Chains A and B, each alone.
Chain A
């Protein structure tokens, strides 16, 4: 029984930056991704939500290139990247930040960001000239640090940062690669209210300039940030549309038992 993915109510003629079609992933007998389909328009902040176990992480793994799908297509910027390995997807602008912080703990914030900048600044098969002399690269790293709010912690070791700051660095690392599409895997994971507000403000500041696919459990944040929302249930996208549309969607309410979605008055 095939559930059609809805055309979103807001008509938009722009070609999608990311188009996922009929994606399937099986782990033994378990179907984690069941012909999932979604698309992200350039410039929008598209949120992916779903109850626990819906398969959001598996889907993100496939989009980012960490997992190879069993069937289906992933088209990014008009190119089929389904079989392209992760580093190449990153170089084409499809970058991900991680739910579990994975930074270079023993390097400074600045060195962390500078590495991400270096990745797309030509070949690193340079063996003689000191890397520290490339001041423009460090200037760019500093700029990213500023954008994510870590300018004051530039020389601190990444491992010494507070959890919230590490999550900011996490986003910063992805941002420093000048992505065309930023995959944000639960950026607010494990954050308290203050830290969440800061992250929210950061993501708000990125809107419009950077296209984002955001996976989040924090419904409050999702409904405040997203231009459109896709809802993933049991490996399949059951609904896609503007926040208002999703909030009132009967199948979505059923999937969440109507509890977690903020009502009109709370939004």
Chain B
């Protein structure tokens, strides 16, 4: 080989596909803006927006957990709502049984989401392409029908929560402002955690699996194992979102588990940016704000929403979702 000056490890290449920098100043700015919302809203007399923002953050959490496996891992799961709904049900059921402590219920919701994801993933990840999509959908539907039939926990009518989870330490979650800050704090924590994960070894492997799964197996990575771990993690995070959702709406029903809900989460991720760190947050915010704005204008806002979504899909020829592999033709 002719002598070539080798590239030293100190030369920094421009960030590639694997890198998802946090941009601390920008992120901090967003966090501060979000933290300033309750006092500002209160001053303007528009307390309603705190509730809306809470909902957005909760869905941002759910969408980010889906983005983890979809955008970064390339696994198109059409049953993600099941993990969210399961987390919500855990909180609801525990509360009905007299357990109101958030310190018990919320970790339980995370565990439930993670365990169910482990079970679903263990079976589903043996399939590929559209079969994967279908089988994840099927599992979610199974859970849905189970909860519909299970009259003890409300069946089709669902459960009404008597109140919000109890956090203790003088923080009353019944107050919307307090609840908002707790949700914001949790989302920020998860967000940073996901960012660190993506930049760590695991994140690199996950994204590489999305890029070329066959080659990853050929260079010695146990593909199934890493995908299952990612799937389980995402399920746990979704369970947390579900726990918060149950608290926010005060109501749990099988509708949370339906495939429309899974579709909704997918829409949020696709809108916000598949495989982008802020994708879940942006998607949830855009979607829910759009829903809010449009429903103020017309009772048939779903039509306008559909039209906007369709326009977005058609106008983005490079594909908002060109990054997805598992659900794509291969």
A interface residues (Cβ-Cβ under 8 A, vs B)? 64, 86-87, 90-91, 95-96, 98, 102-108, 110-111, 115-116, 118-120, 124-132, 134-135, 138-139, 142-143, 145-147, 149, 151-152, 154-155, 157, 173-174, 176-177, 201-202, 205
Contact = CB atoms under 8 A, between A and B. Distances in A.
Given A64-B218, A132-B19, 5 more contacts: A95-B219, A130-B200, A131-B200, A151-B5, A157-B16
A89 to B, nearest CB: 8
Interface in B1-34: 1, 4-9, 13-14, 16-19
B222 A87 contact: yes
Contact of A127 (B5, B8, B202): B202
Contact of A124 (B17, B212, B226): B226
B5 to A, nearest CB: 8
Contact of A103 (B212, B220, B222): B212
Interface string B217-248: 11111110010010000000000000000000
Interface string B259-290: 00000000000000000000000000000000
A241 B318 CA distance: 54
A110 B208 contact: no
B219 A115 contact: yes
B42 interface: no
B201 interface: yes
21 contacts: A90-B218, A102-B214, A106-B211, A107-B17, A107-B211, A115-B216, A119-B221, A120-B220, A124-B202, A124-B205, A125-B226, A127-B203, A128-B197, A131-B203, A132-B19, A132-B199, A139-B9, A142-B6, A146-B1, A154-B13, A202-B1
Contacts of B9: 135, 138-139, 142
A155 B1 contact: no
Contacts of A131: 18, 199-201, 203-204
Contacts of B202: 124-127
B128 interface: no
Contact of A151 (B7, B16, B205, B214): B7
B178 interface: no
B215 A111 contact: no
Interface residues of B, number: 38
B4 A104 contact: no
B223 A87 contact: yes
A20 to B, nearest CB: 19
Contacts of A139: 9
Contacts of B226: 124-125
A50 B20 CA distance: 48
A90 B7 contact: no
Nearest to B233: A127
A102 B215 contact: yes
Contacts of A111: 16, 18
B208 A104 contact: yes
B222 A115 contact: no
A131 to B, nearest CB: 5
> Of B5, B13, B203, B229, which is in contact with the most chain A CB atoms at under 10 Å from its CB?
B13
A135 B220 CA distance: 21
A131 B20 CA distance: 12
Contacts of A86: 217-218
A127 B200 contact: yes
A186 B196 CA distance: 40
B262 to A, nearest CB: 26
A64 B205 CA distance: 22
Q: Which 8 A-B pairs have the closest CB atoms?
A: A90-B220, A119-B220, A124-B201, A126-B201, A155-B13, A154-B7, A130-B199, A116-B219
